Amino acid sequence: MSLRILLVRHGLSSFNLEHRIQGRDDLSSLTEEGVKQALATGEALRDLPITAAYSSPLRRAHDTATALLAAQGGGLEPRLDNDLLEVDLAPWSGLLSSDVQERFPEAYRTWKQHPEQLELQRADGSSYAPIPELMEQARRFVDRLLAEHNPANPTPQTVLVVGHNAILRCLLLTLLGLDASGFRRLRVENASLSVLNLSAEADGAVAVQIESLNGTTHLHPEVCGGRLPAKGAGPRLLLVRHGETDWNRQGRFQGQIDIPLNENGRAQAAAAGNFLRKVSFQRAYTSSMARPRQTAEGILSHHPGVPLTSVRDLVEIGHGEWEGCLESEISEGWGELLAAWKRAPETVQMPDGETIHDVWDRSLRGWNTIAASLHSDETALVVAHDAVNKTILCALLGLSPADIWAVKQGNGGVTVIDYPNGPDQAPVVVCLNQTAHLGGVLDRTAAGAL
């Protein structure tokens, strides 16, 4: 990683509190709670040197950035950038969401279901498409950001970007190479923190890894165990990676060899259990292997009576002859294949093992079966493995088997997926790879091997 990008949404604003449409009008301001959120985010980032900071010029974002940077203590001032302005919803700005829904029912339905297809009219009568325009705005910002903070630079850089709900979603989609149809797959809370790691590849391309999305635990340090974003309508699934094993710590490819948790892994499971102890689980599922089952049992120690079901489809990728080996040992015997696995994992057949396509098919079969079994108000825990979780999350985000390196899964990390319109409709990645319960807002779990 040579470039780390921290994406932060502005704190709670007066219009957020009143459920009004804000858009890019500068009519709302930070509430007292919004200021507290900005300060809490800055305090959470205090030990992280920030190279540069950018902010939307709208005051709710600018004030968030200013308060955050003051609390962070690095002495930076935010650089205001018009390409971080919020989506242009001028005909609706200032209206209550309920009023928009009542006065413009078809347009509001499009906004909620297919926002990339929404068209509105400007004051001069001309029509425009807010989200496609915002995607172009995001592309401009990303291009300029990468030109100024080149990931090929060997000196690590950390850049803070403070913006708004819609523009941050479009920035995420742009960085991941996705189109606007994925807009509703993401959720961005007030003062949430998303962390992306960028690096330069040999061919000049930029590799993007999501370390975490929409983290909010830092906003509630007084709440023992932290707090997840609120659940709405529809079923919710919490996807957790198992705790650390000795082979994770050593960097061995463990695959389907049934290595148990080590002492740190058991502590991570206990920490995840404490983090999730106030969640109301109706069901729980685990890979049939020891390390996820031990992790699930640690979490469920706070939830007596919740049934735990083993799912064979969720077992880790079969590495075949690589299992039990260090990367250096694999490099000696399968150097070209290992390089291909790192560069283009979708092309690799593990020696006497599986392909990522094999894992993709079975992990999604298992996940979709679980999701389809849930009632609308139920929440389920699912504990599995690095490759399994990556394939599930790539599919939910609209990525492909070629993109598994774009998603990080830390030992004991927690991801939340909602199905607001039912399990047969598009899911929402509420937050991804939350590891603050393990210490700090960055994922500091074992790098391991995959």
Active-site residue numbers? 242, 316
DSSP tag of 237 = E
Exposure of 77 by Cβ count < 10 A (0-12 exposed, 13-18 middle, 19+ buried)? exposed
Q: Compute the distance between CA of residue 214 and CA of residue 6 in angstroms, rounded to an integer.
A: 11
CB atoms within 10 A of CB 253: 24
**Is 199 in a helix, a strand, or coil?**
strand
DSSP tag of 260 = P
Q: Which tokens hold the place of 120?
A: 């509105």
Is-contact 183 113, C-beta < 8 A? no
184 Cβ contact list (under 8 Å, min separation 6): 112, 113, 115, 426, 428
Helix H segments across 239-279? 246-250, 263-275
**Is 79 in a helix, a strand, or coil?**
strand
Q: Which amino acid is at 196?
A: L
Q: Compute the distance between CA of residue 301 and CA of residue 421 in angstroms, rounded to an integer.
A: 31
The sheet carrying 236-241 orders its strands as 79-80, 52-55, 157-163, 3-9, 193-200, 206-215, 428-434, 414-418, 236-241, 379-384, 283-287, 308-311
Q: Which tokens hold the place of 282?
A: 């109706």
DSSP tag of 25 = -
Q: Which tokens hold the place of 397?
A: 């985000």
Q: Which tokens hold the place of 270?
A: 């206990």
Q: Find the angle CA(204)-CA(206)-CA(210) to the nearest 5 degrees.
A: 165
Q: Compute the distance between CA of residue 384 and CA of residue 315 in angstroms, rounded to an integer.
A: 7
Q: Compute the distance between CA of residue 205 and CA of residue 199 in angstroms, rounded to an integer.
A: 9
